[in-house]
Structure 1
Amino acid sequence: MDISRLVDRLSAKVGSARVYRLAPVQTLVPERMIKRISPLAPPTGEVWSENLPRPARLLDPPERVVATALVPDHPPALIVWRKVRHKVINADGPERIAPEWWAGDKDGPSRDYYRIETDQGGRFWIFRDAPMAEGGRWWMHGFFG
């Protein structure tokens, strides 16, 4: 299917910088897993990993969350995000994502990610800065479903 005429029309209407498609990037850091490429570019050959459960939408940048955990190394039992209190009824994790030293990212913090479900039906992807000895701030990074 030739979509070049459609791409030309859209580019003329909204600007060529706003017409793109997303391609996967081989990295473990969630913010770097996609890149914008031309809609007419050939396939890159890269694929997204199917065994990593990732949210459909990421916040850029992640937003601060106030969290209360019953035990320091456990997922939170309660979070407050955007002034709304959410009781956590189910949690899975942690999944530790460390800086990619082989890509020159030596100073970035490690993150402990949790997939949580709240009593109101929300399914979120949150993380805590690691190590906990330095404060362990919590962040909302994405949404499932």
Structure 2
Amino acid sequence: PRPVRLLAPPEPIEAMALLPDDPPVMFLWRGARHRIRRADGPERIAAEWWRRDGEPRDYYRVEDEAGRRFWVYRQGLYRPGVAALWFLHGFFG
């Protein structure tokens, strides 16, 4: 499933995950905190094999405590000592 509404471009969020490859348990977007109740993923989306630029994205479908559903992703692969970059890409109906 894909979101009904996409943000163009995706907006940066501050996210906290228990393990590097886990979905976020909480994220902060536009000053609002969203505690995650349910998550599904990751779904890895990478650039086409013939393109050398672009990092893979690990997408998660998450639902917060209020029942709002979001499509978020972590950009790039996990690297020790490097903070993960997270983005909000869309909203589910």
After TM superposition, the score normalised by the length of structure 2 is 0.92
The residue matched to 2:15 in structure 1 has which SS? Answer: strand
Which of 125, 129, 134 is residue 75 of structure 2 equivalent to? 129
Q: Which has the larger radius of gyration?
A: 1
The Cα offsets for residues 22-55 of structure 1, whole Å up to 9 and x where unpaired, read as xxxxxxxxxxxxxxxxxxxxxxxxxxxxxxx100
More helix by share: 1
Q: Percent identity?
A: 55
Query: Could you say which residue in structure 2 is the equivalent of 1:32?
Result: none
Identify the residue that residue 96 of structure 1 maps to in structure 2. Answer: 44
Structure 2 segments unaligned to the other structure (5+ residues):
none
Cα deviation for residue 70 of structure 1 reads 1.3
Report whether the alignment pairs 1:107 with 2:40.
no
Query: How large is the Cα RMSD of the aligned pairs?
Result: 1.0
Task: Give the whole-Å Cα distance in 1 for the aligned partners of 2:2 and 2:83.
Answer: 25
Structure 1 position 101, deviation (Å): 2.3
- The equivalent of 1:82 in structure 2 is 30
Q: Once superposed, which parts of structure 1, at least 4 consecutive aligned residues long, lie more than 3 Å away?
A: none
C-alpha distance in structure 2 between counterparts of 1:83 and 1:120, whole Å: 16
Q: State the partner residue of 1:61.
A: 9
Aligned residue for 2:60, secondary structure, equals strand
Out of 107-116 and 66-75, give the one that drifted further: 66-75
> How much does 1:73 deviate?
1.3
1:75, CA displacement in angstroms? 0.4
**For structure 1, which runs of at least 5 residues remain unmatched after alignment?**
1-52
Report the number of matched residues: 91
- Per the TM alignment, residue 120 of structure 1 is displaced from its structure 2 partner at its CA by 1.4
Looking at structure 2, the residues matched to 74 and 55 of structure 1 have their Cα atoms a distance apart, in angstroms, of 20
| Between 64-73 and 110-119, the greater mean CA deviation after superposition | 64-73
Q: Which has the higher strand share?
A: 2
Q: Greater relative contact order: 1 or 2 (C-alpha under 8 angstroms, separation 6 or more)?
A: 2
Task: Name 1:118's counterpart in structure 2.
Answer: 64
